[in-house]
Amino acid sequence: MKHTEAKTQRQEKEKKQSNKQISKSVLFALLVIIVLYFLYIIFLLVKEPTDVFRVEESKLYSEESRVGYVIRNEVVVQGNNYKNGIEQIKSEGEKAAKNEVIFRYYSKNEENLKSQIAELDAKIQETMAKQTDSYLPDIKLIEGQIDKEIEKINKITDISKITEYEKQITQLIEKKAKIVGEKSPSGSYIEQLNKQRAQLEKELNEGAETIKAPKSGILSYKVDGLENVLTPENFSALNKEYLENLNLKTGKLIATSDEAGKIIDNFEAYIATISNTGESKQAKVGDKIKIRLSNNVEINAEIVYTAQENEEETLLILKINKEIEELLNYRKISFDLIWWSYTGLRVPNQSIVEENNLHYVIRNRAGYLSKILVNVEKQNDKYAIISNYTSDELKELGYTSQQITNMRNISIYDEIVLKPDLSKVK
C-alpha cells in the first residue's frame, strides 16, 4: 500500500517537471520567434529604408518674389514762394479736404519780422504790467482767456490746431493792448507800439503764401519728380526698358521736399512689375490675386493691364486699395506676388503616386501600409493640398456603395510614405 502511494507521488512529480520543461520550451520558442521577427524588420529597414511624412493642416502658396514700381494718382502742389521754405500746417500722411490749407511758404524776411514783433510784444507787456487802474478786471478776464488757449496748445500736437490757437492768442493780446492803450496814462505809448506791430504783421502776412489742397486725398511732402511720369494714364507707354532706365533703387526712401507737396488719391494705387512665370503668361485683366508687402501684410490686388515683353517676360499692372499710406515713402519696392493660396492637408509631391489617372498616398500605421485614394486640390513645385473624395464623387468615379463604405480616409497627423512603391502594397 505504501509502495503504491510512493509510486503515484513520484509519477505526479515527474509529470509536473515534464510540463514545466514543455512550458519553458514553448516560451523560449516564442521569444526566439519574436526576436527573429524584429531582426527581420530591422533588416528590411536597413535594406530598404522608408521615410515618412506626417500630414499637417497648412496653407499652400503659389508665389514669386518681385520688384515693383509704385504708380499713384497724385497732384503736385507748389506756390510762387517755393524758394522760401515750407511751414507744414498739415503733417505727412494726413488726409486733406479740397480747398483746405495744407502748408504755407515763409516770407523773405520772416525771421527778422518775427523777432521785431516779439520785441514789441515784450515792451507792450512790460508797459501793461505796470498799470493798476480801474480797468484791471477787464485785463484779468482777457489774461484768463489767454492762459486757457496756451493750456490747449500744450495738450495737442496737431500743427493746424496749434496755428489756430496761436492766432486766437494774438487777437486776445491785441485786444488787451487796445484796452490799456485807450484807458491808461501811458496809452499813447502803447498805441504807438501797437501801430508798429500791426505794420510788421502786415508785412509778414503779405510776404507769406498759403497753399490749399486742389482736391481731397492724402498729403505728402515726398516729391521725387516722377509724379507726372508714372501715372495711371500711360500704362501702354510702360515696358521693362522704360522702367529700368528710371535708375531707381529698390526700397530707397523718397526725400522730403521743402519746396512742394502733393495730394495723393487715398482709394487706389498701382504697382508695375515684370514676371517670367507661367502664371504671368496666362494672366488676364480682371484676375484677382494677392500681394505681400515688406511689412508682411497680405492684401488683395487686381490685374488691370498686361503686356508681353518677350517669350519669357510679362508686364503686369496691379491695382490695390489698401496699405496706400505704407507706400508713400517709396517709388520702387520688393514684394511677393501670390497667384493663389489654399488651405488643407499638406503633403510632399513625392508622397503622391498616380495610377490609372487617380492619385494615391501610402499610409503607414505601426508598420501596416495602406493605399489610400486622395483628391489633389492644389499643387506647387514642392507640396500639394489633398483631400478625401466625397461619396458622390466616388460614385461618379464608379465605386459601389460597399466599396465606398470600406474606403479608408487620410487624416491630419497620419504618417505617409515618401517615394512609395505601389507594387509592395496590397
Residue 319 domain flag: yes
One domain, residues 199 and 119: yes
What is the total count of domains within the chain? 4
Considering 207, 231, 259, which residue would you say is the last residue of a domain? 207
One domain, residues 189 and 201: yes
Residue 95 domain flag: no
Give me the CATH number covering residue 349: 2.40.420.20
One domain, residues 111 and 199: yes
One domain, residues 250 and 198: no
One domain, residues 309 and 263: yes
Separation of alpha carbons 303 and 288, rounded Å = 7
Give me the CATH number covering residue 317: 2.40.30.170
Residue 263 domain flag: yes
Bridge partner list, 346:
56, 385
Residue 257 domain flag: yes
Range of the domain at 201: 107-207
| Tens place of pLDDT per residue across the chain (426 aa) | 545 555 565 656 656 666 666 666 767 777 878 877 666 555 544 444 458 899 999 999 899 999 999 999 999 999 988 888 888 999 999 999 999 999 988 877 666 666 777 777 777 777 666 655 545 566 667 667 777 767 776 666 666 666 676 677 677 666 666 665 555 555 566 677 777 777 667 666 666 788 999 999 999 999 999 999 999 998 999 999 999 999 999 999 999 999 999 999 999 999 999 999 999 999 999 999 999 999 999 999 999 999 999 989 999 999 999 999 999 999 999 999 999 998 999 999 999 999 889 999 999 988 888 889 999 999 988 999 999 999 999 999 889 988 888 888 999 999 999 988 777 676
One domain, residues 241 and 331: yes
User: Which three three-digit cell numbers place residue 26?
Assistant: 514553448
Region for 251 from its dihedrals, namely left if φ exceeds 0, alpha if ψ lies in -120 to 50, beta otherwise:
left
Decide if 213 contacts 77 (C-beta within 8 A): yes
Contacts of 385 (CB under 8 A, 6+ apart): 60, 342, 343, 344, 345, 346, 376, 377, 378, 379
Question: What is the residue-wise DSSP string for 76-128?
Answer: EE--TTGGG-EEESS-TT-EE-TT-EEEEEPPTTHHHHHHHHHHHHHHHHHHH
Q: Could you tell me the pTM of the whole model? A: 0.66
Considering 285, 313, 341, which residue would you say is the last residue of a domain? 341
Residue 46 domain flag: no
One domain, residues 337 and 226: yes
Residue 167 domain flag: yes
One domain, residues 327 and 357: no
Strand order of the sheet with strand 209-212?
Answer: 86-88, 101-105, 209-212
Residue 215 domain flag: no
Reported in sequence order, the residue ranges of 276-357 that DSSP labels E, i.e. its strands, are: 288-292, 298-308, 314-320, 332-348, 353-355
Separation of alpha carbons 240 and 75, rounded Å = 25
Residue 322 domain flag: yes
Q: Which stretch of DSSP H or E encloses residue 190?
A: helix 187-207
